[in-house]
């Protein structure tokens, strides 16, 4: 029997919660911020693009939600610390932290330069590490919270030209799992989301090439790209009490990309 004290109608609500979304200026981060606000959270919209962060906060406010903008560069350790401190100065708690920023340089391994390797690694892995660490410290102090990091299907499957990006996403997953194990006893959950092909600024190189874009669509079970808004539901799930027993997990939101193993559909 279910617990009669559970209000199933409100499992996904975030009323009274404070959420920080890094990368909120566009794409998946913007959709996540708007969705969290729609469920009742007060959202701190942070982005390297300060104007983008403000625009997202304005969209939320215009819809009747609560939001405030912040600028942050996740590759700068002190800037991430400053951001978490700024949130703490205005809010008694930090209940949800979502981090989405990544970059990708598509080149064969043999053509990659050391500078390019460092650039991708610094943003995707070191920047994510700073966010996980600083948000985790804050949440451990209060004894609760949910941290959500964006990985990728490339954490599991690769293609030519995706070596360093894929390595950083696999590293993100392992950081998430280790942090979940370390701070779970303190009441903090940590999970990762693995999108498939999503139409965002990061993937504009592909979506602007019809043949390339169609090849990716055909690779998915659902036969199409995702919109950033289709990542919002998984974020709300992992942020809310609906996922109260979920931690250390990698949630695939990939249209079935990783469930099938070929590009040819046999005659059946």
Axis-axis angle for helices 27-38, 232-239 (nearest 10): 50
Q: DSSP 3-state assignment of 98?
A: strand
The span from the CA of 102 to the CA of 29, in Å, is 11
Q: How far is CA 69 from CA 49, 134, 176, in A?
A: 10, 19, 26
Does the active-site annotation cover 165?
yes
The span from the CA of 243 to the CA of 189, in Å, is 9
Spot the catalytic one: 112, 165, 216, 245.
165
Axis-axis angle for helices 128-142, 77-90 (nearest 10): 30
Q: DSSP 3-state assignment of 200?
A: coil
The DSSP secondary-structure symbol of 245 reads T
Instruction: Evaluate whether 238 touches 193 at the Cβ level (below 8 Å).
Output: yes
Instruction: Evaluate whether 69 touches 45 at the Cβ level (below 8 Å).
Output: yes
Catalytic machinery residues: 165
């Amino acid at each position: 029997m279910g617990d009669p004290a559970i209000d199933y109608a409100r499992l996904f609500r975030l009323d009274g919660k404070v959420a920080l979304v890094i990368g909120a200026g566009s794409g998946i981060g913007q959709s996540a911020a708007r969705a969290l606000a729609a469920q009742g959270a007060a959202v701190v919209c942070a982005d390297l693009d300060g104007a983008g962060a403000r625009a997202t906060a304005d969209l939320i406010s215009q819809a009747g939600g609560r939001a405030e903008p912040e600028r942050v560069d996740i590759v700068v350790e002190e800037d991430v610390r400053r951001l978490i401190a700024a949130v703490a100065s205005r809010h008694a708690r930090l209940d949800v932290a979502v981090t989405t920023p990544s970059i990708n340089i598509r080149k064969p391994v043999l053509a990659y330069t050391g500078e390019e390797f460092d650039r991708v690694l610094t943003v995707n892995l070191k920047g994510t590490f700073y966010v996980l660490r600083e948000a985790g410290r804050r949440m451990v102090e209060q004894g609760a919270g949910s941290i959500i990091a964006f990985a990728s299907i490339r954490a599991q499957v690769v293609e030519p030209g995706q070596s360093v990006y894929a390595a950083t996403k696999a590293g993100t997953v392992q950081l998430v799992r280790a942090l979940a194990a370390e701070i779970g006893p303190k009441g903090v959950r940590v999970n990762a989301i693995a999108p498939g092909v999503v139409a965002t600024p990061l993937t504009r190189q592909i979506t602007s090439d019809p043949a390339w874009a169609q090849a990716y669509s055909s690779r998915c079970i659902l036969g199409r790209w995702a919109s950033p808004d289709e990542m919002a539901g998984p974020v709300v799930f992992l942020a809310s009490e609906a996922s109260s027993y979920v931690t250390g997990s990698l949630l695939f939101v990939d249209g079935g990309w990783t469930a099938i193993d070929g590009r040819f559909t046999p005659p059946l």
